[in-house]
Structure 1
Amino acid sequence: MKKVIVLGNTLDALSAAHYILDTCRNTEIQLIAETAEIGLSAEAPGIFKKWPPCPNHWISDMKSQTPNKESTAVRRSWFEKALAIQLSNRGCNIQLKTRVSTITPDQIHVVGAGAIGTSTIHYDVILDFRQHIIGPEWFGGIISSRLEAPEEISGIRSDGTTEVWINQESEHVNNWIQTTTWNGEDPRNALIQDIEEGIFKARSKVDTIIQPSDSR
Protein backbone atom coordinates (compact mmCIF):
# COMPACT_ATOMS: atom_id res chain seq x y z
CA MET A 1 0.00 0.00 0.00
CA LYS A 2 1.28 3.43 -0.98
CA LYS A 3 1.30 6.18 1.64
CA VAL A 4 0.46 9.74 0.58
CA ILE A 5 1.04 12.75 2.82
CA VAL A 6 -0.93 15.95 2.15
CA LEU A 7 0.31 19.03 4.00
CA GLY A 8 -2.19 21.84 4.58
CA ASN A 9 -5.86 22.44 5.31
CA THR A 10 -6.79 24.62 2.35
CA LEU A 11 -9.34 23.84 -0.35
CA ASP A 12 -6.69 22.73 -2.83
CA ALA A 13 -5.26 20.30 -0.26
CA LEU A 14 -8.69 18.81 0.50
CA SER A 15 -9.47 18.51 -3.22
CA ALA A 16 -6.16 16.76 -3.90
CA ALA A 17 -6.86 14.19 -1.19
CA HIS A 18 -10.34 13.45 -2.55
CA TYR A 19 -9.00 13.14 -6.10
CA ILE A 20 -6.41 10.59 -5.00
CA LEU A 21 -9.07 8.56 -3.20
CA ASP A 22 -11.14 8.60 -6.39
CA THR A 23 -8.38 7.55 -8.75
CA CYS A 24 -5.96 5.35 -6.80
CA ARG A 25 -6.25 1.98 -5.12
CA ASN A 26 -4.20 0.57 -2.26
CA THR A 27 -3.47 4.07 -1.05
CA GLU A 28 -3.35 5.44 2.49
CA ILE A 29 -3.75 9.22 2.78
CA GLN A 30 -2.73 11.30 5.77
CA LEU A 31 -3.56 15.02 5.84
CA ILE A 32 -1.50 17.09 8.28
CA ALA A 33 -2.34 20.64 9.34
CA GLU A 34 -1.11 23.05 12.00
CA THR A 35 -4.58 24.42 12.77
CA ALA A 36 -6.89 23.04 15.45
CA GLU A 37 -9.69 22.48 12.92
CA ILE A 38 -10.46 22.62 9.22
CA GLY A 39 -12.96 25.22 8.12
CA LEU A 40 -15.20 27.32 10.36
CA SER A 41 -12.47 29.91 10.80
CA ALA A 42 -11.11 32.42 8.28
CA GLU A 43 -13.34 33.08 5.29
CA ALA A 44 -12.34 33.09 1.62
CA PRO A 45 -14.44 33.60 -1.53
CA GLY A 46 -17.24 31.09 -2.05
CA ILE A 47 -18.75 32.48 -5.26
CA PHE A 48 -19.62 29.90 -7.91
CA LYS A 49 -21.26 29.67 -11.34
CA LYS A 50 -22.45 26.08 -10.95
CA TRP A 51 -23.12 23.92 -7.91
CA PRO A 52 -21.52 21.67 -6.89
CA PRO A 53 -18.05 22.79 -8.04
CA CYS A 54 -16.62 19.33 -7.33
CA PRO A 55 -17.96 15.75 -7.31
CA ASN A 56 -20.96 15.58 -5.00
CA HIS A 57 -19.59 12.60 -3.08
CA TRP A 58 -16.75 14.79 -1.81
CA ILE A 59 -19.20 16.86 0.25
CA SER A 60 -20.82 15.83 3.54
CA ASP A 61 -24.19 17.26 4.61
CA MET A 62 -23.94 21.04 4.95
CA LYS A 63 -27.49 21.41 6.30
CA SER A 64 -28.63 25.06 6.16
CA GLN A 65 -25.47 26.08 4.30
CA THR A 66 -26.24 23.81 1.33
CA PRO A 67 -26.75 26.09 -1.72
CA ASN A 68 -30.22 26.20 -3.27
CA LYS A 69 -31.39 27.15 -6.76
CA GLU A 70 -31.06 30.86 -6.03
CA SER A 71 -27.58 30.61 -4.50
CA THR A 72 -24.50 32.00 -6.22
CA ALA A 73 -22.14 31.57 -3.26
CA VAL A 74 -21.43 29.12 -0.45
CA ARG A 75 -19.97 29.85 2.94
CA ARG A 76 -16.42 28.76 2.13
CA SER A 77 -15.42 27.72 5.65
CA TRP A 78 -18.44 25.40 5.95
CA PHE A 79 -17.76 23.98 2.51
CA GLU A 80 -14.17 23.18 3.47
CA LYS A 81 -15.37 21.62 6.72
CA ALA A 82 -17.80 19.45 4.76
CA LEU A 83 -14.98 18.26 2.48
CA ALA A 84 -12.82 17.43 5.50
CA ILE A 85 -15.60 15.47 7.22
CA GLN A 86 -16.17 13.48 4.05
CA LEU A 87 -12.43 12.82 3.73
CA SER A 88 -12.49 11.30 7.20
CA ASN A 89 -15.58 9.27 6.29
CA ARG A 90 -13.68 7.93 3.27
CA GLY A 91 -10.76 6.75 5.41
CA CYS A 92 -8.33 9.68 5.27
CA ASN A 93 -6.35 10.14 8.49
CA ILE A 94 -6.48 13.84 9.43
CA GLN A 95 -3.87 14.99 11.93
CA LEU A 96 -4.42 18.51 13.32
CA LYS A 97 -2.33 20.80 15.55
CA THR A 98 0.76 19.24 14.01
CA ARG A 99 3.76 21.11 12.60
CA VAL A 100 6.22 19.67 10.10
CA SER A 101 9.78 20.42 11.21
CA THR A 102 11.78 18.56 8.54
CA ILE A 103 11.07 16.98 5.16
CA THR A 104 13.43 14.41 3.62
CA PRO A 105 12.97 12.44 0.37
CA ASP A 106 10.99 9.66 2.10
CA GLN A 107 9.92 10.89 5.53
CA ILE A 108 8.80 13.90 7.52
CA HIS A 109 9.44 14.85 11.13
CA VAL A 110 6.45 16.35 12.91
CA VAL A 111 5.81 18.05 16.22
CA GLY A 112 2.28 17.72 17.57
CA ALA A 113 0.24 18.62 20.59
CA GLY A 114 -0.52 16.30 23.50
CA ALA A 115 0.21 12.61 23.07
CA ILE A 116 1.42 13.04 19.49
CA GLY A 117 4.68 14.66 20.58
CA THR A 118 7.52 14.34 18.09
CA SER A 119 7.43 11.59 15.50
CA THR A 120 8.65 10.51 12.08
CA ILE A 121 6.24 9.59 9.29
CA HIS A 122 7.38 7.72 6.18
CA TYR A 123 5.73 8.36 2.83
CA ASP A 124 5.79 7.41 -0.84
CA VAL A 125 4.24 10.65 -2.14
CA ILE A 126 4.00 14.08 -0.56
CA LEU A 127 1.91 17.09 -1.62
CA ASP A 128 2.64 20.38 0.12
CA PHE A 129 -0.22 22.90 0.14
CA ARG A 130 0.89 24.98 3.09
CA GLN A 131 -0.41 28.42 2.31
CA HIS A 132 1.60 31.36 1.04
CA ILE A 133 0.03 34.80 0.63
CA ILE A 134 -0.08 35.56 -3.11
CA GLY A 135 -1.94 38.27 -5.01
CA PRO A 136 -3.56 41.58 -4.13
CA GLU A 137 -5.57 42.00 -0.95
CA TRP A 138 -9.37 42.10 -1.13
CA PHE A 139 -11.76 43.29 1.56
CA GLY A 140 -14.66 40.93 2.13
CA GLY A 141 -17.88 41.40 4.02
CA ILE A 142 -21.17 39.68 4.74
CA ILE A 143 -24.49 41.52 4.71
CA SER A 144 -28.11 40.44 4.97
CA SER A 145 -29.58 39.50 1.59
CA ARG A 146 -32.50 41.80 2.45
CA LEU A 147 -30.14 44.74 1.98
CA GLU A 148 -28.96 45.95 -1.40
CA ALA A 149 -25.40 44.82 -2.02
CA PRO A 150 -22.92 47.46 -3.19
CA GLU A 151 -22.08 47.36 -6.89
CA GLU A 152 -19.12 45.07 -6.37
CA ILE A 153 -18.40 41.35 -6.68
CA SER A 154 -21.02 39.49 -4.66
CA GLY A 155 -22.80 36.17 -4.25
CA ILE A 156 -26.03 35.12 -2.52
CA ARG A 157 -25.87 32.34 0.08
CA SER A 158 -28.61 29.95 1.14
CA ASP A 159 -28.62 31.25 4.73
CA GLY A 160 -30.04 34.66 3.81
CA THR A 161 -26.73 36.48 3.56
CA THR A 162 -24.70 37.93 0.71
CA GLU A 163 -20.91 37.90 0.52
CA VAL A 164 -19.26 40.94 -1.03
CA TRP A 165 -15.68 41.46 -2.21
CA ILE A 166 -14.15 44.86 -2.98
CA ASN A 167 -10.65 46.15 -3.66
CA GLN A 168 -10.55 48.23 -0.52
CA GLU A 169 -12.57 48.62 2.67
CA SER A 170 -15.82 50.41 1.92
CA GLU A 171 -16.96 53.34 4.00
CA HIS A 172 -20.39 53.22 2.33
CA VAL A 173 -21.58 49.97 3.93
CA ASN A 174 -22.55 50.23 7.60
CA ASN A 175 -24.33 46.92 8.08
CA TRP A 176 -21.57 44.33 7.82
CA ILE A 177 -22.37 41.12 9.73
CA GLN A 178 -18.79 39.94 9.32
CA THR A 179 -15.66 41.26 7.63
CA THR A 180 -12.47 39.59 6.46
CA THR A 181 -9.59 39.97 4.01
CA TRP A 182 -8.33 37.62 1.31
CA ASN A 183 -5.34 37.64 -1.02
CA GLY A 184 -5.79 36.49 -4.62
CA GLU A 185 -6.48 37.58 -8.16
CA ASP A 186 -10.27 37.37 -8.54
CA PRO A 187 -12.85 36.33 -5.91
CA ARG A 188 -15.25 35.22 -8.66
CA ASN A 189 -12.95 32.41 -9.73
CA ALA A 190 -11.22 31.56 -6.45
CA LEU A 191 -13.41 28.62 -5.41
CA ILE A 192 -13.20 26.61 -8.64
CA GLN A 193 -9.56 27.55 -9.24
CA ASP A 194 -8.50 26.22 -5.84
CA ILE A 195 -10.33 22.95 -6.47
CA GLU A 196 -8.78 22.61 -9.93
CA GLU A 197 -5.32 23.44 -8.58
CA GLY A 198 -5.58 20.65 -6.02
CA ILE A 199 -6.71 18.17 -8.67
CA PHE A 200 -3.92 19.25 -11.03
CA LYS A 201 -1.19 18.79 -8.43
CA ALA A 202 -2.59 15.44 -7.32
CA ARG A 203 -2.84 14.21 -10.90
CA SER A 204 0.79 15.13 -11.56
CA LYS A 205 1.80 12.78 -8.75
CA VAL A 206 -0.54 9.85 -9.20
CA ASP A 207 0.01 9.57 -12.94
CA THR A 208 3.70 8.85 -12.45
CA ILE A 209 3.91 7.12 -9.08
CA ILE A 210 0.64 5.50 -8.04
CA GLN A 211 -1.20 2.89 -10.10
CA PRO A 212 -4.63 4.25 -11.15
CA SER A 213 -7.70 2.24 -10.23
CA ASP A 214 -9.30 0.29 -13.05
CA SER A 215 -12.73 0.73 -11.49
CA ARG A 216 -12.97 4.54 -11.87
Structure 2
Amino acid sequence: MDRYQFETKLWEQGFQRVMGLDEVGRGCLCGPVVAAGVILKPCSRISKDVADSKSIDEKTRIRLREEIKEKALFWTVQKCSPGEIDEINILKASIRAMMRCSEEVGAEPDYLLVDGNRFTSSVIPHSCIVKGDDKSVSIASASILAKVHRDQLMRKLHKEYPHFGWETNVGYPTKEHFEGLKNHGYTKHHRKSFKLRTEKVYKESNS
Protein backbone atom coordinates (compact mmCIF):
# COMPACT_ATOMS: atom_id res chain seq x y z
CA MET A 1 0.00 0.00 0.00
CA ASP A 2 1.25 3.46 -0.91
CA ARG A 3 0.53 5.50 2.21
CA TYR A 4 1.91 8.59 0.48
CA GLN A 5 -0.75 8.57 -2.26
CA PHE A 6 -2.84 11.41 -0.83
CA GLU A 7 0.07 13.53 0.32
CA THR A 8 1.96 13.13 -2.97
CA LYS A 9 -1.02 14.33 -5.02
CA LEU A 10 -1.45 17.35 -2.78
CA TRP A 11 2.26 18.19 -2.79
CA GLU A 12 2.20 18.00 -6.59
CA GLN A 13 -0.70 20.46 -6.56
CA GLY A 14 1.40 22.92 -4.59
CA PHE A 15 0.19 22.33 -1.03
CA GLN A 16 3.11 22.68 1.38
CA ARG A 17 1.56 22.09 4.80
CA VAL A 18 -0.70 19.05 4.54
CA MET A 19 -1.86 18.09 8.04
CA GLY A 20 -3.01 14.58 8.87
CA LEU A 21 -5.58 14.46 11.68
CA ASP A 22 -6.72 11.55 13.83
CA GLU A 23 -8.17 10.99 17.27
CA VAL A 24 -8.23 8.17 19.82
CA GLY A 25 -10.45 7.36 22.75
CA ARG A 26 -13.92 7.81 21.28
CA GLY A 27 -15.13 4.49 22.65
CA CYS A 28 -13.68 4.90 26.13
CA LEU A 29 -15.77 5.29 29.26
CA CYS A 30 -13.40 7.82 30.78
CA GLY A 31 -10.59 10.21 30.06
CA PRO A 32 -10.31 12.77 27.28
CA VAL A 33 -10.61 12.19 23.57
CA VAL A 34 -7.16 12.96 22.21
CA ALA A 35 -6.34 14.18 18.71
CA ALA A 36 -3.05 14.76 16.96
CA GLY A 37 -2.08 16.69 13.87
CA VAL A 38 1.07 16.01 11.85
CA ILE A 39 2.52 17.96 8.92
CA LEU A 40 5.28 16.12 7.08
CA LYS A 41 7.87 17.88 4.95
CA PRO A 42 6.84 17.79 1.28
CA CYS A 43 8.33 14.81 -0.57
CA SER A 44 9.91 13.53 2.66
CA ARG A 45 9.91 9.88 3.70
CA ILE A 46 9.42 8.36 7.12
CA SER A 47 9.72 4.80 8.44
CA LYS A 48 7.70 2.25 6.47
CA ASP A 49 6.49 0.93 9.86
CA VAL A 50 4.21 3.96 10.24
CA ALA A 51 0.65 2.65 9.95
CA ASP A 52 -2.62 2.53 11.89
CA SER A 53 -1.54 2.78 15.53
CA LYS A 54 -3.88 -0.07 16.50
CA SER A 55 -1.92 -2.44 14.24
CA ILE A 56 1.45 -1.65 15.83
CA ASP A 57 2.78 -2.93 19.15
CA GLU A 58 3.45 -0.42 21.91
CA LYS A 59 7.25 -0.58 21.74
CA THR A 60 7.15 0.22 18.02
CA ARG A 61 4.63 3.03 18.53
CA ILE A 62 6.90 4.70 21.07
CA ARG A 63 9.90 4.39 18.74
CA LEU A 64 7.93 5.78 15.81
CA ARG A 65 6.58 8.65 17.89
CA GLU A 66 10.11 9.94 18.41
CA GLU A 67 10.91 9.64 14.70
CA ILE A 68 7.69 11.41 13.73
CA LYS A 69 8.37 14.28 16.13
CA GLU A 70 11.93 14.61 14.85
CA LYS A 71 11.12 14.54 11.14
CA ALA A 72 7.77 16.32 11.02
CA LEU A 73 7.52 19.91 9.87
CA PHE A 74 4.95 20.41 12.63
CA TRP A 75 3.08 18.25 15.13
CA THR A 76 0.66 18.83 17.98
CA VAL A 77 -1.52 16.86 20.41
CA GLN A 78 -4.81 18.31 21.65
CA LYS A 79 -7.78 16.97 23.63
CA CYS A 80 -11.34 17.45 24.78
CA SER A 81 -12.13 16.73 28.41
CA PRO A 82 -14.80 14.35 29.72
CA GLY A 83 -16.83 17.44 30.65
CA GLU A 84 -16.75 18.72 27.08
CA ILE A 85 -17.69 15.26 25.82
CA ASP A 86 -20.71 15.19 28.14
CA GLU A 87 -21.70 18.68 27.06
CA ILE A 88 -21.51 18.38 23.27
CA ASN A 89 -21.29 14.57 22.62
CA ILE A 90 -18.32 12.43 21.65
CA LEU A 91 -18.49 13.00 17.88
CA LYS A 92 -18.47 16.79 18.20
CA ALA A 93 -15.75 16.58 20.86
CA SER A 94 -13.59 14.43 18.58
CA ILE A 95 -13.96 16.97 15.77
CA ARG A 96 -13.29 19.86 18.16
CA ALA A 97 -10.04 18.23 19.33
CA MET A 98 -8.93 17.79 15.70
CA MET A 99 -9.86 21.40 14.92
CA ARG A 100 -7.71 22.52 17.85
CA CYS A 101 -4.78 20.77 16.18
CA SER A 102 -5.36 22.66 12.93
CA GLU A 103 -5.70 25.96 14.81
CA GLU A 104 -2.64 25.53 17.03
CA VAL A 105 -0.15 28.38 16.89
CA GLY A 106 2.46 27.62 14.24
CA ALA A 107 0.42 24.95 12.47
CA GLU A 108 -0.91 26.99 9.54
CA PRO A 109 -1.99 23.96 7.48
CA ASP A 110 -3.08 24.59 3.89
CA TYR A 111 -4.88 21.23 3.56
CA LEU A 112 -6.32 18.73 6.06
CA LEU A 113 -6.49 14.96 5.69
CA VAL A 114 -9.00 13.74 8.26
CA ASP A 115 -9.50 10.17 9.42
CA GLY A 116 -13.11 9.01 9.16
CA ASN A 117 -16.14 10.29 7.28
CA ARG A 118 -17.19 13.32 9.35
CA PHE A 119 -15.64 16.71 9.92
CA THR A 120 -16.86 20.28 10.19
CA SER A 121 -16.95 23.32 7.94
CA SER A 122 -13.54 24.91 7.74
CA VAL A 123 -11.88 27.65 5.73
CA ILE A 124 -9.07 25.12 5.19
CA PRO A 125 -9.74 22.66 2.36
CA HIS A 126 -9.97 19.09 3.61
CA SER A 127 -10.70 15.49 2.70
CA CYS A 128 -12.19 12.83 4.94
CA ILE A 129 -10.67 9.39 4.43
CA VAL A 130 -12.37 6.30 5.85
CA LYS A 131 -9.71 4.15 7.53
CA GLY A 132 -7.31 6.95 6.72
CA ASP A 133 -5.04 5.90 9.58
CA ASP A 134 -3.97 2.97 7.40
CA LYS A 135 -4.07 4.76 4.02
CA SER A 136 -2.35 8.08 4.67
CA VAL A 137 1.12 8.42 6.20
CA SER A 138 0.33 11.75 7.87
CA ILE A 139 -2.94 10.45 9.38
CA ALA A 140 -1.14 7.29 10.52
CA SER A 141 1.54 9.47 12.12
CA ALA A 142 -1.17 11.45 13.92
CA SER A 143 -2.81 8.24 15.14
CA ILE A 144 0.48 7.10 16.66
CA LEU A 145 1.11 10.39 18.48
CA ALA A 146 -2.45 10.51 19.80
CA LYS A 147 -2.50 6.90 21.00
CA VAL A 148 0.86 6.99 22.75
CA HIS A 149 -0.08 10.25 24.47
CA ARG A 150 -3.48 9.01 25.62
CA ASP A 151 -2.28 5.57 26.74
CA GLN A 152 0.45 7.15 28.86
CA LEU A 153 -2.04 9.62 30.35
CA MET A 154 -4.45 6.84 31.37
CA ARG A 155 -1.68 4.73 32.87
CA LYS A 156 -0.59 7.71 34.93
CA LEU A 157 -4.18 8.17 36.15
CA HIS A 158 -4.29 4.46 37.02
CA LYS A 159 -1.79 5.13 39.81
CA GLU A 160 -4.35 7.44 41.43
CA TYR A 161 -7.36 5.28 40.59
CA PRO A 162 -6.18 1.66 40.67
CA HIS A 163 -9.62 0.02 40.69
CA PHE A 164 -10.54 0.15 37.00
CA GLY A 165 -7.67 -1.51 35.14
CA TRP A 166 -6.68 1.61 33.25
CA GLU A 167 -3.07 0.39 33.06
CA THR A 168 -4.26 -2.20 30.52
CA ASN A 169 -7.67 -1.09 29.19
CA VAL A 170 -6.72 2.64 29.13
CA GLY A 171 -10.35 3.54 29.76
CA TYR A 172 -12.12 1.26 27.29
CA PRO A 173 -15.09 -0.81 28.47
CA THR A 174 -13.85 -4.12 29.87
CA LYS A 175 -15.13 -6.52 32.52
CA GLU A 176 -12.56 -5.19 34.99
CA HIS A 177 -13.53 -1.58 34.26
CA PHE A 178 -17.24 -2.27 34.83
CA GLU A 179 -16.44 -4.21 38.02
CA GLY A 180 -14.53 -1.19 39.28
CA LEU A 181 -17.45 1.08 38.46
CA LYS A 182 -19.88 -1.25 40.22
CA ASN A 183 -17.76 -1.52 43.36
CA HIS A 184 -16.29 1.99 43.60
CA GLY A 185 -18.46 4.29 41.46
CA TYR A 186 -17.57 6.69 38.68
CA THR A 187 -14.75 9.22 39.02
CA LYS A 188 -14.40 12.81 37.84
CA HIS A 189 -12.60 11.37 34.82
CA HIS A 190 -15.56 9.28 33.67
CA ARG A 191 -17.95 10.40 30.93
CA LYS A 192 -21.29 10.65 32.67
CA SER A 193 -23.15 10.73 29.35
CA PHE A 194 -21.89 7.20 28.61
CA LYS A 195 -23.50 4.01 29.93
CA LEU A 196 -21.46 3.41 33.06
CA ARG A 197 -23.93 0.94 34.66
CA THR A 198 -23.73 2.67 38.03
CA GLU A 199 -25.11 5.69 39.88
CA LYS A 200 -22.48 5.48 42.58
CA VAL A 201 -19.97 8.33 42.87
CA TYR A 202 -16.34 7.49 43.56
CA LYS A 203 -15.00 8.63 46.91
CA GLU A 204 -11.65 10.28 46.32
CA SER A 205 -10.35 8.95 49.64
CA ASN A 206 -10.52 5.47 48.12
CA SER A 207 -7.57 6.13 45.85
The TM-score normalised by the length of structure 1 is: 0.28
Higher helix share: 2
The TM-score normalised by the length of structure 2 is: 0.28
